[in-house]
Amino acid sequence: MATITVLDVIRTKRDGGELTDAQIDWFITGFTDRRVADEQAAALLMAIVWRGMSPRELASWTAAMIASGERLDLSSVGRATCDKHSTGGVGDKVSLPLCPIVAACGVAVPQLSGRGLGHTGGTLDKLESIPGWSPQLSNDRFVAQLRGVGAVIAAAGDDLVPADRRMYSLRDVTGTVESIPLIASSIMSKKIAEGTDALVLDVKVGSGAFLPRIDSARELARTMVGLGTAHDVRCSALITDMDQPLGFAVGNAVEVTESIEVLMGGGPADVVEVTLALARRMVELANGTADPAEALASGAAMDRWNDMISAQGGDPAAALPRATEIETMTATTGGHVRRIDARKVGEAAWRLGAGRARKQDDVSAIAGIVLRAVAGDRVSAGTPLLDLHLDDPTRLAGALDALDGAIEIGDEPPRPRTMIHDRIDAERTAPP
């Protein structure tokens, strides 16, 4: 067999060729153990951005990513497992109520989550606003909590797909994040290595989403579902709306508060709709028969939430951090709220301190935004539109700049918002 070199790998993809399985395995192994330099890997990643990957290449690339580390064994959990992954958005706190709801339906939810970056929030950042709660679990504790509680949200260990951890950091600083094959392999390698039986993907679309156009969202959904199916993970994807913020709260502690409201039988209608749609699909893929709406209404999901938080050192009854200062933004004219731009609101929350520009940055549990009006509401001049929650007043001016033009007010009411745009399954594409 001919000797493989990194230059041969780069040139093959640069010139539009397909990488062989051997080339892919060699590259991922060499990159993980640092025999391949960052600048060489960056060149290949940019070639992939421009040239794409065939389905065979992508399946092989994802398999090599998984093989770079350990794969969790959940066979001792004793019940079907199903996870959910969201591509990220503004006010997207769905994982918080979703995991205990699905667990209350008898399906174990093994969720390895991440932190926010830029205008999108991170599940771990939100949960860390609960006093005492920790995302750091050993594999043994992770599996034990799945057996006992039925749900766990934790950080991925260092031995789970180490190739992706290094590659994502490189993509972030080389302009190679926006590639559907690279996005899909990054997400799916971690989820497949997690060991779940089934996976439901929440692919966001709209201004606050990573992919604002629905054709791109569908392509990513199909790609990820195909990868999961190829690795014997039952997969389905819902394409959900992220053109406007989800719910009223955007931040960390404020989103935990809103999630608890959902678990108590209240909360914003859009959050409840998306959460239950995902929960039903998760239960279906796990071959369950329980009704997530009944698990929510009965209080069983709230009990699982309390157990999940307590099992990871948190106090579910503890008071959450609150803002020391709240600045209210009001309407300058009357009419109907036609649209609230999700990306602008997310960027404003980030500038207040709720998000981070780099992965190593700290975030504020307190900072965030709470909407006082949503699309469809009729307002007058002076009506409160949103509250900015501060713990650092020097950040206010930047947040207000980000909100310039975020709220559209007009004479005519907007069309009703559609939350579930499409469903992508392994065998077919179906309407919701």
What is the model's pLDDT at position 118?
A: 62
With the C-alpha atoms ordered 216, 359, 199, 162, is the resulting torsion angle positive or negative? positive
Secondary structure percentages of the chain, helix, strand, coil, to 5: 45, 15, 40
CB 122 within 8 A of CB 113: yes
**Active site positions, annotated:** 85, 164, 171, 186, 190
Provide the percentage of residues in the chain whose pLDDT is more than 70.
97
What is the model's pLDDT at position 429?
A: 41
Q: Residue 427 pLDDT > 90, yes or no? A: no
What is d(CA 103, CA 99) in angstroms, rounded to the nearest whole number? Answer: 6
- Over its C-alpha atoms, the chain yields an Rg (Å, rounded) of 22
Q: Give the ranges where 106-242 is alpha helix by DSSP (H).
A: 123-127, 139-148, 162-174, 180-193, 214-230
How high does pLDDT run on average in the chain? 93
Among the listed ranges 72-76, 170-174, 248-252, which one has the minimum average pLDDT value? 170-174
Domains annotated on the chain, with CATH:
6-52 (1.20.970.10), 75-318+420-430 (3.40.1030.10), 325-410 (3.90.1170.30)
Q: CB-based contacts of 15: which residues, under 8 Å, 6+ apart?
A: none
Give the model confidence (pLDDT) of 289-319 as tens digits: 999 999 999 999 999 999 999 999 999 999 9
CB 290 within 8 A of CB 105: yes
Give the model confidence (pLDDT) of 237-273 as tens digits: 999 999 999 999 999 999 999 999 999 999 999 999 9
What is the model's pLDDT at position 158?
A: 83
Q: Residue 105 pLDDT > 50, yes or no? A: yes
DSSP single-letter state for residue 340: E
Average pLDDT of span 211-220? 94
